[in-house]
Structure 1
Amino acid sequence: MNRYEELGVGERVSFTKQLSSEDVSAFATISGDTNPLHLDDEFAKRTRFGTPIVHGTLISGLISAALARFPGVTIYLSQDLEFLSAAEPGGTLTATCEITEAFGESRYRLDTVVHNESGEKLADGEAIVLIDEPPEYTETF
């Protein structure tokens, strides 16, 4: 599916990225979420996880990156997301979004999931989005 006109139920996009410790540190700096659970090995060893974990919001950001792969201009209206398992820095995660319902007027309901490289589901949810027709665009960067 490469065209806006082809959007419909069953259409799916994915985005895969390895999230490094540097990504986690950068996200902590940008977001201000400096919880030592994400950044401090010694602190994290004493938690239920036993190791630093990736911010949940960074994991959910992969869903946003996947949404950018739909043709058109995708605008989030809502996201309901349940975190099922943690991710350690260095893991490769894949976010997948599938259109499950078309409401009309460019509005869609999507299943949104994030898996790790072992296929374990880390996050499961549902989003409502607008996907508008793309305007004329010439890439300048």
Structure 2
Amino acid sequence: MSESESPSDETPVTEFVGSWSDASKHVLNSYVEANKAILASMGLSGTEEGDQIEPPVTELTYGSVGWSMDRSVETREELGVGEYVEFTKPLTDADVHAFAQASGDTNRLHLDDQYAARSRFGDRIVHGTLVGGLISAALARLPGLTIYLSESLEFKGPAMIGSVLTARCEIVEDLGENKYRLTANVTNADGRTLIDGEAVVLIDEMPE
């Protein structure tokens, strides 16, 4: 094979560089927004003239556009078999690029349009671990301080970028000493199960 030829199953270098350039822009934008949020949480403005001072974050259970939560009880003392929590969030292109940067999982299936188009999925998909992270987000919204002890997940289908996904966790067994076993699954807007599994958590009282 000559130096000017590329293997048929590889993306040309220019396309690959272009994709990573886009990824870098997404990550940079994510950092900028994160820094603005940190400044806002401290009651500080940005560095540019005319930036508006936002009030500080007053609680940890905050949300963003498109996020929603539902739970069956509001106090830790009410937790028991049958109680549940749900968390819904869209997983955006910016989420995928930020997760790739944070985790180091730069599989081109998640980042390169042309590469992913030739895969069995026909398009880029969300990292499975990022989808599974919605379960952690749901558990964090149970009343009390949730601490993971174990988790077992089965991935049943891909999540497409831009999908609105819901994680639902329901207590199926009280293990005693504030420990619980829960079902843990993630579904898309059509009700299709993408992840099916279970988790064991310890739920402490919230610190003062």
The two structures have a TM-score, normalised by structure 2, of 0.65
Which portions of structure 1, spanning 4 or more consecutive aligned residues, are displaced by more than 4 angstroms? none
Q: What secondary structure, in the 3-state scheme, does the structure 1 residue paired with 2:199 have?
A: strand
Whole-angstrom distance in 2 between the partners of 1:96 and 1:69: 11
Structure 2 unaligned regions, length at least 5: 1-72
Deviation at 1:135, TM superposition (A): 2.2
Whole-angstrom distance in 1 between the partners of 2:205 and 2:80: 13
Amino acid at match of 1:107: K
Whole-angstrom distance in 1 between the partners of 2:199 and 2:95: 25
Task: Tell me what 2:171 maps to.
Answer: 99
| Larger gyration radius, structure 1 or structure 2 | 2
The match for 1:31 among 84, 98, 103 is 103
Q: What secondary structure, in the 3-state scheme, does the structure 2 residue paired with 1:57 have?
A: helix
1:4 aligns with 2:94: no
Q: How does 1:105-116 map to 2 (within 5 A)?
A: 105-116=177-188
The match for 2:196 among 103, 124, 130 is 124
Amino acid at match of 2:119: T
The root-mean-square deviation of aligned C-alpha atoms, in Å, is 0.6
Amino acid at match of 1:63: I
1:22 aligns with 2:56: no
Whole-angstrom distance in 2 between the partners of 1:135 and 1:87: 36
1:44 aligns with 2:116: yes
The two structures have a TM-score, normalised by structure 1, of 0.95
Whole-angstrom distance in 2 between the partners of 1:31 and 1:67: 21
* Structure with greater strand share of residues: 1
Q: Alpha-carbon deviations, 1:32-70, whole Å to 9, x = none? A: 000000000100011111100000000000000000111
The count of corresponding residues between Structure 1 and Structure 2 is 136
Whole-angstrom distance in 2 between the partners of 1:82 and 1:98: 17
Question: What is the aligned-residue identity percentage?
Answer: 63
Task: Tell me what 1:139 maps to.
Answer: none
The match for 1:56 among 128, 147, 158 is 128
Higher RCO (C-alpha under 8 Å, 6+ residues apart): 1
1:133 aligns with 2:185: no
